[in-house]
Amino acid sequence: MASEMIEELGSHRGTVSLILPDLAVVSAAVPAGGSSTNGDIALELAPRLGFPVSEARVDFWRNGKGAVLAAAVREAVVRQYEQVVEAADCRVGWVDVASLVRVPVWAEASASDPGTTLVRALLYRSHYVLALFREGGLVDVRTRLRSGDDVDAVAGEIRRLPAIYDLDRLGAVTLSGEGASPSARLLLDAGVDARTPSGEEGEASQLEASLAALLQRG
């Protein structure tokens, strides 16, 4: 199937970028002033992996504010994806995680809203991811599982963020993906500045936006 898709796109012998599912990856945001070396951060992730850290592929993103975003995936899992690409006679390019691809761009954009904490809520059928940014830096990334039509639970978790992070209030909350619009309406009714970007309603559109961002990077 992968080979047929690549042939249809005219990308034979080309470079293919991969988006890994969020739930295949363990991620953690380390605030400025925390562990500084990649090795120390990888060891901090170890108890959360469910497999030996020696079997993990770990990558890191550092922004200018000193925070570090670490992501770990089992080597055997990511190799399965890479082998599909290689079997189709293509080269593996960028490999990233669906909800982490745009973190660097969103962090940079948050610099234009000084003094506020901005939230990006990325909603899928099985889970959702909340990424918080402040003044050009990443604050945290939180992943939560979903259960059916639970937009009220999603909105409730977002409303809890000021208490969790000791904030007076949130700045703008941008929601995209599965159930973004009804979640945004609940937040607006609660006095939260909630927004939904055009064209990113539904899980498929959310994944397409992430893939587009990864392809632009290449």
Q: What's the pLDDT at 91?
A: 87
**pLDDT digits over 145-199, tens only?**
998 889 999 999 999 999 999 999 999 999 999 999 999 999 999 999 999 998 8
In a domain, 11, yes or no: yes
Both 78 and 152 in one domain: the answer is no
Residues 77 and 146 in one domain: no
Domain contains 95: yes
Q: How many domains, the chain? A: 2
Residue 8 structural domain: 2-99
Q: What's 81's domain CATH number?
A: 3.30.420.380
- CATH number at 131 reads 3.30.420.40
Do 94 and 112 reside in the same domain of the chain? no
Confidence label for 21 from pLDDT (cuts 50, 70 and 90): very high
Residue that terminates a domain, selected from 99, 130, 159: 99
Counting every residue written for the chain, the total comes to 218
Per-residue model confidence as pLDDT tens digits over 73-84: 999 999 999 998
Is a pLDDT exceeding 90 seen at residue 24? yes
- Mean of the per-residue pLDDT values of the chain: 88
**95 and 109 inside one domain:** no
Domain boundary among 58, 76, 99: 99
Residue at which a domain ends, from 99, 114, 135: 99
